[in-house]
Amino acid sequence: MLSFTALTRLRAAEIPRFVRVPELGTGITAAARYAWRKPGIRWPLVLMVFVATFGMTQNVLFAAAARDVGFDTGPGGYSLYMAAGAFGALLGAVLSTRRRTVGVPVVVTGAVLFAAAMIGTAFARIDAVFVLSVVVLSLLRVMFATSAEALVQLSTNPAIRGRVSGLYLVIVAAGQTVGAVVVGGIVQTWGLSAGFLVAGGVPFVAGCVVVALTVRTWGLRGSGSACDVRGPRRRDDSRGR
C-alpha cells in the first residue's frame, strides 16, 4: 500500500529526462560490452563475481558451524549466528548511509577488508569470538555490496541502466548458487576453517589483483572514483561516455 501511495505522489514534471542512445545496442551482451569499457562498472562487477561466488555463502558456513564440523551448537547456535549476521548487516547499512562519495578505491578496499574478515573468521576457535567475527564480516559485506551497487548505478547511462542492473543481479544470484555448492563441498571434505579460508581467500586475491591493476588511476577523473551518492549527478552522461 505504501509503495502504491508513493507511486501516485510522483511528480512527472520533475522526473529527469534522458536521451536514448541507439549505438548502445540491445540485450544483455550490449550491457556486458558497455560495462566492460567503463572502469566504474567493470571493476565492481569483476569483484562481485568472486565475492558473490565465494564470500556470500554465509548461510552454508553458518549451518556448518552449528554442526559437528564446527562448534556443534545445533539449531540454537545457527539461530545465533544468523542473528549476529543480521545485526552486522544492519550496522553496515547504517554506516553506508553516511558515505558521501563512492568510487573504485572504496569498492576495492571494501572487498579486500571483507575477504580479510572471512579469512580471520577461519581462525576463530571460541564460539563467542566466532559470533563477534560474524558481526564484523556481515557489516563489511553490506558496506562492500552497497558501494559496489551504488557505483554501478551512478556510472551507468540511464538508457542502459536496467540491463546493467540485470547483469549485476545475474552475477550475484548465479554466484551465490554455484558458491553454495562449492563451499559446501569444501566444508564437507576439509572442515569449517577450510571453507572460510577459501570463501575469503579467493576474493582477497581477486581484490589484490584489482588493486594492482587500478591503483595508478585512483583519484583520476574518469576513473569512477568520485561519484556523489547524496545528490544529483553533475556531469552529463547522456552519451554513455
Tell me: the pLDDT tens digits for 149-159? 999 999 998 88
Total structural domains within the chain:
1
Whichever domain contains 130, its CATH number is 1.20.1250.20
Kindly report the three-state secondary structure assignment for every residue of the chain. CHHHHHHHCCCHHHCCCCCCCHHHCCHHHHHHHHHHCCHHHHHHHHHHHHHHHHHCCHHHHHHHHCCCCCCCCHHHHHHHHHHHHHHHHHHHHHHHCCCCEECHHHHHHHHHHHHHHHHHHCCCCCHHHHHHHHHHHHHHHHHHHHHHHHHHHHCCCCCCHHHHHHHHHHHHHHHHHHHHHHHHHHHHHHCHHHHHHHHHHHHHHHHHHHHHHHHHHCCCCCCCCCEECCCCCCCCCCCCC
Say what the pLDDT of residue 46 is: 97
- For residue 25, is it within any domain? no
- For residue 67, is it within any domain? yes
- Residue range of the domain that includes 124: 43-216
Say what the pLDDT of residue 114 is: 98
Say what the pLDDT of residue 230 is: 60
- For residue 240, is it within any domain? no
- For residue 4, is it within any domain? no
Average pLDDT estimate for 117-137: 96
